[in-house]
Amino acid sequence: MKLIHSGKVRDLYADGDDLILVASDRVSVYDVILPTPIPDKGAVLTRLSLWWFDQLADIVPHHVVSATDVPPEWAGRAIRCRRLDMVKVECVARGYLTGSGLVEYRKTGAVCGVRLPAGLVESDRLPEAIFTPTTKAPLGEHDTAMTYEDVVAQEGEADASALRETTLGIYRRGAELALERGIIIADTKVELGRDRDGRFVLADEVLTPDSSRFWDAATWEPGRSQDSFDKQIVRDWAAGTGWDKTPPGPVLPDDIVAKTRARYIEVYERITGNTW
Ligand code: Q0Z
């Protein structure tokens, strides 16, 4: 099978007309891939994405062809999918103020051209979810903010509107359901593509902790940064080693691996209601 893309934690292969999306057990912190895998991470996030694709099917069709017709070495953590013509916009929705959105808000009072109320603080919930697209930067470079008008100029009014409403629809559905299970999805990035008939289809992974910021609703408090639901154990341990956040990352001890694996499984079980 031909490797066509290798991301930090996932790989993409071509198989005839289809693509095979393979989620690895690799974990990245501060943008550095650690040398120690988290067992079952790839399978857990694959299962979670598949569950969400099904939940979201009335909002947008998805790219999944089969979760079982994949090479046996990747069984459980690979998805056979339709090859789409990917939209050259990173479609992001935010319901809370953090990350680059917070930086932009503090500078301008707006995020991606969306004016926000004055006086918001870090991690605040926004009055309503907003569409904050970014450019698709080449690997290694950073994405830059776009306004909705930039998306209109690039994709046309009708498609820009469809991208925004689809992205917001996915976020609202996901964030509402997760919150009922005690997990805040602060923001999420979705990948949309066009099928041969020009219809938008949801691709890649969706509403996973690798594509979204997950926070614990029980400890959420505006006015400060929030712990990452999945990676905080690794971050705190790594900070304690004195690691300077440049490659290579530290080898993880067994107990940190076990606790982090348990967090991914907890996310899966709480959101889906299924037992891992
Ligand atoms: C997704 C990515 C990487 C994993 C291209 N159904 C599709 N059709 C066309 N293209 C894609 C998909 Cl999912 C596609 N990516 C992102 C990169 C590993 C996913 F290295 N790139």
Dihedral sign, CA of 165, 92, 49, 68? Answer: positive
* Residue of minimum CA distance from atom 18 in ligand 1: 11
- For the record, the structure tokens of 40 come out as 């079952």
Distance 63 CA to ligand 1 centre (A): 10
Q: Which residues, judged by CB distance below 6 Å to any ligand atom, belong to the binding site of ligand 1?
A: 5-7, 10-12, 19, 21, 63, 81-84, 86, 191, 193, 203-204
Q: E strands within 174-229? A: 183-194, 200-203, 212-216
Residue pair 266/243 in contact (Cβ under 8 Å)? The answer is: no
pLDDT (tens digit, 0 to 9) for every residue of the chain, 276 residues total?
999 999 999 999 999 999 999 999 999 999 999 999 999 999 999 999 999 999 999 999 999 999 999 999 999 999 999 999 999 999 999 999 999 999 999 999 999 999 999 999 999 999 999 999 999 987 678 889 999 999 999 999 999 999 999 999 999 999 999 999 999 999 999 999 999 999 999 999 999 999 999 999 999 999 999 999 999 999 999 999 999 999 999 999 999 999 999 999 999 999 999 999
Q: Which atom of ligand 1 is nearest to the CA of 6?
A: 20
CA–CA distance, 247 with 114 (Å, rounded to integer): 36
* Residue of minimum CA distance from atom 1 in ligand 1: 204
Going from the C-alpha of 118 to that of each of 63, 106, 113, 122, the distances in angstroms are 40, 10, 15, 12
Distance spanning both ends of the chain, measured CA to CA? 30
Q: What is the pLDDT of residue 50?
A: 99
Q: What is the pLDDT of residue 3?
A: 98
Residue pair 60/202 in contact (Cβ under 8 Å)? The answer is: yes
Distance 12 CA to ligand 1 centre (A): 6
CA–CA distance, 29 with 234 (Å, rounded to integer): 8
Q: What is the pLDDT of residue 140?
A: 72
- For the record, the structure tokens of 90 come out as 């990173």
